[in-house]
Amino acid sequence: MSVIFDRLELLAEKIRTYEIIDSYRVFHGRGQVFPGLEFVTIDFFQPVILITLFSEPPQDWVADLLVGSRVLFDEKKTVFLLQRRYMAGAPSEVLWGTLPEHCAARRGNLEFSLHLAQQQNSGFFLDMEPGRAWIERNAPGKRILNLFAYTCAFSVVAVAAKAELVANVDMSSAALNLGRSNHQRNGLDKTRSEYLAENILKSWGRIKKRGPFDLVIIDPPSYQKGSFIAEKDYAKVIRRLPELMPGGGLVLACLNAPELSEGFLMHVFEESCPAAKFVERLKPHSDFPDVDPEQQLKLLVYRLDT
């Protein structure tokens, strides 16, 4: 527990020092780097400290955490929110403070709406920061296809970085509506983003009409029964790249499946789109240490030449 209190003490110092703090992962136990703490992660979405439990903690663990935290934080300026991911429905409870009606993740001058205590996922994935930073560098002037866009965080970053256009595709209209509001929240040019509520694997004709594209982002769920199963469906997306980007371009291929290796994704590219050449794997964010790099989020960059 001491390593957690060390991290929380650093966070408390940031809160005392800075008015606005970027959202970040305070503690990452899931990577098995900290023995005995594999069951917990802690994230900060100002003013919310989100504690996520992935299995039942030891007896009195939560109570001990609260006792130690009360001496660090002003309860009027912070909210402790606990989510029990190991229970059906991933229920959440406020341990202290008052949860704001509207919560947001912060990234520099950008904000992203969250649905804390409402759904299993917050709506913004902190471990994807290396991908967002890469998009920010490569988006200017590009026509971008954002597949499995979810709440469109990639698109917000790209449009803010002066992308020519981002077409966001996801089968969830609710997620895309939140994505549209994320663009509005940041005062972004409405003409530079589009939203298509489509089952991607069945809608290639409609998606292709929005092209051609010169940068494609692929960020699918690893396993979503009835929608997308990475092990068998990723190849169906990769083989479409030449028709989506006939002039060539860059691809950011994401895979968040601990059971599937980097080699799996590289093999899919070799078999399904041999014209795409591997450029690099983006380095995982330092806030997410892991004893096994193969279990971390994979972010592979490819270049498709014509």
In the chain, what are the domain boundaries?
2-114, 126-304
CB 79 within 8 A of CB 99: yes
CB 234 within 8 A of CB 268: yes
Minimal CA–CA distance to 145: which of 205, 201, 196? 196
Query: Radius of gyration (Cα) for the chain, nearest Å?
Result: 20
How far, CA to CA in Å, does 41 sit from each of 49, 96, 159? 10, 18, 31
Minimal CA–CA distance to 139: which of 93, 187, 188? 188
| Residue type for position 289 | P
Angle between helices 61-70 and 2-17 (to 10 degrees): 30
pLDDT of residue 118: 74
Architecture of domain 2-114: 2-Layer Sandwich (3.30)
Domain 126-304 superfamily per CATH:
Vaccinia Virus protein VP39 (3.40.50.150)
The string of pLDDT tens digits covering residues 134-151 is 999 999 999 999 999 999
The Cα–Cα gap between 36 and 73 comes to: 25
CB 117 within 8 A of CB 90: no
CB 258 within 8 A of CB 97: no
CB 195 within 8 A of CB 176: yes
pLDDT of residue 9: 97
pLDDT of residue 121: 82
- In this prediction, the residues of the chain whose per-residue pLDDT falls under 70 are none
Q: List, in order, residues 6 or more apart from 191 with CB less than 8 Å away.
A: none
The Cα–Cα gap between 184 and 267 comes to: 39
The Cα–Cα gap between 22 and 94 comes to: 22
pLDDT of residue 117: 79
